[in-house]
Amino acid sequence: MNSIIPMPIVVLISANSEWRVTLEFLHPSQVFTTPLGEWFVGIVETHKVVFFHSGWGKTRSAAAAQFVIDHWQPELVINLGTCGGLEGYATLKETLLVTNTVMYDVFERMGDSQQAIDQYRAELDTNWIGENLPENTRRSMLASADQDIDFRNFKLLTQEFGVPAADWESAAIAWVFKTNGVKGLILRGVSDIVSPTASESDNNHSLWQTRVERIMGKLLQDLPFYLDRFVTVQISR
């Protein structure tokens, strides 16, 4: 794993259950191991793609994103996974095509807290995809923190940050895209809903696991659409 092997497209898969569904969906003949995660080469219709298990949480996902960029020098990195939606702002099982990210667990007490938060904001260019998106998919901002959504943060997320959903990884991955100047795409399916008073997935991991199968299945089924769009844009340059 020391040599650089250019591959045009790498797909990062975050959580363990999401990776398991990916393996079952694509049935790779061989899976390789690195200190930062497993990976395999898959054929998605006519596209040769590296799939990498980046793991959950900001630290591991950021490290994995940097690793795949350094190792494969991809022209496009895609992250597929799930997120928690906020009641009235997101719909269960819809797909969010992420346009902007923010980390909501950055707390600065010695200086300008807003400046600290803004430092880790990132914007992702999705204009190349066009306006006609797969069914039940829309563009959206997303927030990330190393925690499941606490219903007590409902107002913070919806009003202060203006997001309809949040996860553990997207903001860290997007920041790595930004700092490397790499084209990135993040797609997150809403797996559970948090209201101002409760979260339906609290102490109910089995509920999330059940929904992951359907959500990841749709994300993987929709993947050829984005790969085709990317190749079309590259050819037209």
In the prediction, which pLDDT does 237 show?
Answer: 66
Burial class (CB in 10 A: 0-12, 13-18, 19+), 75: middle
Q: Give the three-state DSSP class for 184.
A: strand
In the prediction, which pLDDT does 6 show?
Answer: 53
Residue 2 within a domain: no
Residue pLDDT, tens place only, 91-134: 999 999 999 999 998 777 787 778 878 888 999 999 999 999 99
For residues 79 and 151, give the distance between their C-alpha atoms in angstroms, rounded to a whole number. Answer: 26
**Angle at CA 228, nearest 5°, toward 226 and 233?**
95
How many helices (DSSP H) and strands (DSSP E) are in the chain? Answer: 6, 10
Mean pLDDT in order along the chain per 10 residues (237 residues):
64 96 96 97 93 95 97 96 97 97 84 81 96 97 94 95 97 98 97 93 78 96 96 77
Residue 215 within a domain: yes
Residue 131 within a domain: yes
Run of H or E residues at 98:
strand 95-103
The total number of structural domains in the chain stands at 1
Residue 141 within a domain: yes
Q: Which residue segment(s) compose the domain that 192 sits in?
A: 9-236
In the prediction, which pLDDT does 2 show?
Answer: 45
Sign of CA pseudo-dihedral 66, 72, 74, 79: negative
The alpha helices in 14-134, defined as continuous H runs, are 16-26, 58-72, 113-119
Residue 4 within a domain: no
Q: CATH number, domain at 134?
A: 3.40.50.1580
Residue 165 within a domain: yes
For residues 169 and 82, give the distance between their C-alpha atoms in angstroms, rounded to a whole number. Answer: 10
pTM to 2 decimal places: 0.93
Residue 1 within a domain: no
